[in-house]
């Protein structure tokens, strides 16, 4: 059940900053598959809620929690257990491949 603190949600683009600290690619365009209902969707389409101490991203199909991100003074905790898969598009012209 949602309360006043959780009802004002964001879209999945709110995950871009914290995830850019972990992944070297644009991860909001990655496609995650919900472990609960099987819906595959870009992370940018998740409903994101800011709950201390971090962020929670919910499936647009069934509202199950797909991703949790929490920050401590020295660490970033990333929980992707709500996903059965995460597909990340790798560009054909990455810096590694082009020698830059």
Q: Give pLDDT tens digits for 14-59.
A: 877 777 777 777 888 999 999 999 999 999 999 999 977 899 999 9
Mean pLDDT value of segment 61-90: 93
pLDDT exceeds cutoff 70 at 92: no
Residue at token pair 């647009």: 60
Average pLDDT, the chain: 82
Please, are residues 45 and 34 in contact by the beta-carbon 8 Å criterion?
no
Beta-carbon contacts of 22 under 8 Å, excluding residues fewer than 6 positions away, are: 76, 78
Residue at token pair 């929980």: 79
Ranking 10-19, 55-64, 67-76 by mean pLDDT, the lowest is: 10-19
27: helix, coil or strand?
helix
Ranking 12-21, 48-57, 63-72, 91-100 by mean pLDDT, the lowest is: 91-100
pLDDT of residue 42: 95
Cα separation of 96 and 73, whole Å? 31
The DSSP symbol for 60 reads T
């Amino acid at each position: 059940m949602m309360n006043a603190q959780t009802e004002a949600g964001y879209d999945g683009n709110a995950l871009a900053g914290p995830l850019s600290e972990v992944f070297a690619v644009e991860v909001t365009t990655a496609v995650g598959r919900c472990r609960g209902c099987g819906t595959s969707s870009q992370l940018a389409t998740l409903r994101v809620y800011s709950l201390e101490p971090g962020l929670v991203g919910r499936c647009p199909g069934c509202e199950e929690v797909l991703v949790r991100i929490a920050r401590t003074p020295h660490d970033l905790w990333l929980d992707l257990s709500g996903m059965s898969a995460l597909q990340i598009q790798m560009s054909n012209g990455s810096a590694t491949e082009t020698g830059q």
